[in-house]
Structure 1
């Protein structure tokens, strides 16, 4: 086991628990999420599965503190999350990103330090080291001076994950991370998410491919605005549960 792996295991406690209780989100008169309840912890990969409009993106954004909750609570390490925690990193769907924005890979990853430093504070040696380590972890060193628009889809996902690593986030919230990736990029991303979870992070991702979900994720949450089922992916992804989810 590498020294970097030891460091990450020390930093990320496998027993850090995320508890979502009675979570509801409403947009004006439309109920987007109703009474969602689950608990999971660092070291797991959790798939959010449901039809379009089932509330997967809304749940990710609610946990990330990007949309207000109508009711319910989110606990992280036994502390109520009021709005946003810098221990959470949100990775949007790729089509939501303005890839024409003029920023290099390193510049994007450096943004991960802003929650610690503030946007206008000069980076310390520790900040530069965190960025260097994130680039190395995601094998992005050779691409660090390239504009993000010049990257492939898989490289773009890795760049955003590197930003999350530089942020020192414990919880990675990914919205459809595999969408639009070719088979090789998907395989690389799957290996990467497995490694990040093994190092002690919690990965929560919306996912639409039912065939790959049991091999990519440890746990699954089935949504149809309300919660259908939650538990180990291999147990939850039954024909009966999926029929109810996609009815």
Structure 2
């Protein structure tokens, strides 16, 4: 399926509508429950200045001491209720100073914005020299499905292209791991999309109360590899980068 061309306004409308409704019915999941926690616990301990962009109610960094920026007011309310420093904003215009953070995380967000160059520029702007960036993106344009469009994606990335984009913004890719919880079955995705379209409230209840807990339970430990090796057939990757310029 061909990747559609989508405007900033359309992407904002789709993402705001989908995720505001999702987070309004969800509870915050503690960072310790994700398979990213062993790495992020270690990085956070060495990085007192931390930023996570668009965590929703699935933050990966410790709530205490991290600055969170999100578009969803429903997510911000719950983050603040747990004592987190959470600010309304978007990845293309972060409400943060230059070179302010030693650790920056942006999981599952770059594919949602039309101007990914501007988003990467903002991540580079707020990252201090030597800072660590964790970024996750979906791969392979030819793997595009109607579900990508439904959840507000703008694109999937070719492996070489994302590495080139990162380098152009002063980030050196150090290691990567296969990432994500999306089911491999296209039939399950089609069924999920149908329910989200026609029975949204029920579908989101099942996602938050059944499928998300099952996904957490059956997560596999991340297997880290230097650079970005062969990723044929891989749906999504998590990238660990270093700010070098």
- TM-score, length-normalised on structure 1? 0.29
- TM-score, length-normalised on structure 2? 0.29
- Higher RCO (Cα < 8 Å, 6 or more apart): 1
* Greater radius of gyration (CA): 1
